[in-house]
Amino acid sequence: MTLRTRIAVIVAVTVAALLVAVGVSAQLLSARALVGAVDEDLRRIAASIERDPRGLLVVAGPGRDRFGGAAGIVQLVDAEGRVIGDLRSRLDRGGVAGGDADADRVVLPVDDVVLAVASGASPSTLRTVPVEGVPLRMLVVPVGQRFALQVARPIDEVEDVIGQLRARTALLTLAGSLLAALIAWTVAGRSIRPVSELTAAVEEVRDGRDLSRHVVVPEGDDEVARLARAFDAMLSRLEASRVAQDRLAADASHELRTPLTSLRTNVEVLVHDAERLAADDRRRLTEDVVGQLEELSAMVDGLVMLTRVDTDPGARGPVDLAALTEDVVTSARRRYPARAADLRLTVGADVDPVEGDERELALAVSALVDNAVKYAPAGAIDVTVRADPAGNVHVEVADGGPGVPPDALPHLFERFFRAPEARAMPGAGLGLALVERVARAHGGAAAATARSPQGLRVRLELPARPGRPLGGAPAQSP
């Protein structure tokens, strides 16, 4: 049974139970009210006869209801159970007793309860008794010392009313249950439509099919909407992870093939022809192998780091970008002691912390500094941290190196891109790609411009608050 069907059945059963409970309550209350009205009529008749006992001698005329109808049946009995007199109707007071009337008379039952009232052992009683299959409501009141007055009238009309009410309740219950089931079926279908789409998406993911499918997120903030949003975000993460993995596999197979082939060739020469090589050639070849291994290691590390940024965003929190940049510059001075004096850091005023992953931001800033040191072999390297009028934070690294051609600037942040002038130098072309990816993951941007008269200026820009679009003109660099 589907969830939609279960909801419809539960609602229908619940509504049916409520309607049955209401119907039974209505029947009980109606029966009590109707029987109460009959009881009042019986008391009124009894009181009237007590005031005028001659009414006991009057009997119904021909053709009247044997059970007295609304006027009821009146019967006087003594303590021994003998019937003294009866009155079948208070109408037709000119009627005459005897003949067919006596043969047609209805005798009310005289039992121990009636005898107890007649003997004075019990007060008046009021109950329902069957007579010839007809339900009668009978009042028994004491009269004098040794008599009891029985006043009864049929309550079959009450039974008829209750029967009609019972039939209407059953019809209403059936109609209400069907209507509730139909409404529940329709509403449940609309409510669980996102769940059905989630199920279909999960089945597609399970079967290894398209991860780019997105579910329709309903409006509102209920449980289904939150589930749909969470699952849609999960699908996006899975899709990004798969794309990153595919890209990593493609990059690795494409970019590692040439250096691995060269490395294999050099290693085979060292293994098979080492004895025929001169000492200087063997040393240079060994240094080439070590350098190639270092480049491969750096390339693999860069690819892994790019994939990690794409698929595994770290914990976010406030990051003091000024202090972080100062630590990166201090570390670079230790790693490049010959260029320590060229690395100059300037921190502007009112630089607020940004929201981000400190490890990723440190890698991005370090990649900016390493790129400048590598491709600007001489001259000052200016590292600047400042806030623009909108509060966005800029980390800018400007060098006085040879720069890059204007047509190469738009491609600097692509994976494995290297300007023709830089291809003779070691490197994999992943540093600035990492900067751009970290910037985008933090809602920021990366940009590169030529520096006058020569050199390159690369900027990492991050928003002042997460989710806030970048705005405001960046401060001018010297």
Nearest of 436, 440, 451 to residue 380 by alpha carbon: 451
Alpha carbon distances (Å) from 177 to 27, 181, 241: 19, 6, 49
Q: Supply angle C-alpha 224, 230, 233, rounded to 5.
A: 140
Task: Transcribe 45-84 into DSSP letters.
Answer: HHHHHHH-GGGGG--PPTTS-TT-GGG-EEEEEETT--EE
CA-to-CA distance for 314 and 326, rounded, in angstroms?
22
CA-to-CA distance for 345 and 329, rounded, in angstroms?
7
Q: Supply angle C-alpha 321, 326, 330, rounded to 5.
A: 150
Residues of the chain with pLDDT under 70: 53-71, 85-105, 201, 205-206, 208-218, 241, 244-259, 274, 292, 294-314, 415-429, 465-478
Average confidence score pLDDT of the chain: 76
CA-to-CA distance for 309 and 106, rounded, in angstroms?
101
CA-to-CA distance for 178 and 169, rounded, in angstroms?
14
- Does the model's pTM come out above 0.85? no
* Contacts for 475 with CB less than 8 Å, ≥ 6 apart: 348, 386, 387, 388, 394
CA-to-CA distance for 396 and 444, rounded, in angstroms?
14
Cα–chain-centroid distance for residue 438?
Answer: 32
CA-to-CA distance for 271 and 195, rounded, in angstroms?
63
Pairing label, strands 73-78, 147-154: antiparallel
**Inter-axis angle of helices 279-311 and 257-272, to 10 degrees?**
150
Given a contact cutoff of 8 angstroms between Cβ atoms, the answer to whether 446 and 319 are in contact is no
